[in-house]
Amino acid sequence: MSQLLAKGAEASLYLENFYGYPSVRKYRRPKPYRLPQLDAKLRTDRTIREARSLAAARQSGVATPILYQVDLENATIVMEYIAGQRVKEQVPSLKKTQRRRLFNGIGKAVARLHLNEMTHGDLTTSNLLLGPSHLIYFVDFGLAMVTNNIEDFGTDLHLLRRALLSTHHTHWEDCYNAVQEGYSATFGDRSDEVFRKVEAIESRGRYITERIR
């Protein structure tokens, strides 16, 4: 049995059962307007990135769904189903203190990824799930990178800041301040350098909003 869970620009996600465990199958669909060879390469590359990063992120102490299966030929991964809500839907109903606590935790988790020399690549509140025991799960690692470059860390935070600004317009500043607090508590001395990069990226006014799809 398979039930459509979500359909994004790039992938379709199905709720299934994997040997008795509720699971999610994420299938990256072919894009008819791309050159077939490039399309195949992109879908395979993002599937590999996602599969590797789910495990790498968990090793750094960030909650992610457990990876059950990878099928590169079909650009498909099967992973643990996280029973919870997206942070996106939660934000409007949270009280100020709850909001601060949540985004402080998100900032800490992003710093852990960065300390573990990786970026997420698409930090939005749709890619953060509030799972059991209030754990914040990170999903959607298809654009993740292995990097130890402060500029890349700045880009990651900049994307999150921009997502907050556009999706949670009334609370975005509160949320982002809490992210910064959590981030510096975990990332330590070099946090200011990262925050300065975020500012530099923003003042430059030109930034990569989307890699070639």
Ligand X SMILES: Nc1ncnc2c1ncn2[C@@H]1O[C@H](COP(=O)(O)OP(=O)(O)O)[C@@H](O)[C@H]1O
Binding flags for ligand X, 71-100, as an x/- string (CB under 6 A): --------xxxx---x--------------
**CA pseudo-torsion sign 145, 149, 155, 156:** positive
| Interface pick for ligand X out of 26, 112, 114, 168 (rule CB under 6 A) | 26
| Residue 140 found at the interface with ligand X (CB under 6 A) | yes
3-state secondary structure of 47: helix
Phi then psi for residue 160, to 5 deg, are: -65, -45
| Residue 143 found at the interface with ligand X (CB under 6 A) | no
Are the beta carbons of 10 and 28 closer than 8 angstroms? yes
- State how far the Cα of 164 lies from the Cα of 187, in Å rounded to an integer: 21
192 is catalytic: no
117-146 residues near Mg ion, rule: CB under 5 A? 127, 140
| Residue 6 found at the interface with ligand X (CB under 6 A) | yes
Which of 39, 45, 122, 174 is labelled catalytic? 122
Please give the single-letter amino acid code of residue 41: K
Are the beta carbons of 22 and 79 closer than 8 angstroms? no
Instruction: Answer with the entry of ligand X, Mg ion, none that 111 interacts with (C-beta below 5 to 8 A by kind).
Output: none
Task: State which residue, 127 or 186, has the beta carbon closest to ligand X.
Answer: 127
Nearest distance from residue 203's CB to ligand X, in Å?
A: 29
Task: State which residue, 85 or 98, has the beta carbon closest to Mg ion.
Answer: 85
- State how far the Cα of 39 lies from the Cα of 83, in Å rounded to an integer: 32
| Residue 181 found at the interface with ligand X (CB under 6 A) | no
| Residue 180 found at the interface with ligand X (CB under 6 A) | no
Nearest distance from residue 207's CB to Mg ion, in Å?
A: 19
From the list 8-16, 92-100, 168-176, 194-202, the region that binds ligand X by CB under 6 A is 8-16
Per CB under 5 A, residues contacting Mg ion are 127, 140
